[in-house]
Amino acid sequence: MDERAAVDRRGVLGAVAAGAALGAASAAAAQFGSVLGSVPGLAERSWPGQALRIGETLIGVQSVRGRCIITTIDPDTGEQDLDVLRRIHRQFDGTMALNCWVVRGGRIRVGQRAEVIDLDADPPPGGGWITGKPYRVTAAD
């Protein structure tokens, strides 16, 4: 697959958005880690199981991300707009953006090209306070 896009803002890829359909204030409230531009339609929904190569950096794409009530709060004003989440549910089946992980770290710069490639790696096991599954910590020998 040879889909390409450019990194529009921020340096660490946490989410890839189809958020333009929600408008500028709503996209900000969705709290995307990074946004790729020039992605046709909802093409990113076909990326889970693949990876994004941005320079030397490799970002694994695990799944399409379900959105929660936090997306209704504008981070600049603190005002809540419940219609944001209603539109996400109506237009995108309640999901927007991608759950990703870093396969190979590196520096990502605004304007760099991103390429969707095949990936032969599994995501790390889930954990952390938000999932109710604390990360396993083992002592070094």
Tokens for 74, please give them: 């504008």
pLDDT in tens, 86-99: 998 999 899 888 88
pLDDT in tens, 109-141: 888 899 999 999 888 876 655 555 655 556 665
Q: Name the β-bridge partners of 98.
A: 64
**Contact indicator for 98, 50 with CB cutoff of 8 Å:** no
- C-alpha–C-alpha distance, residues 59 and 79, integer Å: 33
pLDDT in tens, 39-85: 888 888 999 999 999 999 999 999 888 888 888 888 888 899 999 89
138 Cβ contact list (under 8 Å, min separation 6): none
pLDDT over 60 at 108, yes or no: yes
**Contact indicator for 74, 66 with CB cutoff of 8 Å:** no
- C-alpha–C-alpha distance, residues 13 and 47, integer Å: 14
Domain ranges of the chain: 4-117
Closest CA to 99 of 32, 37, 36: 32
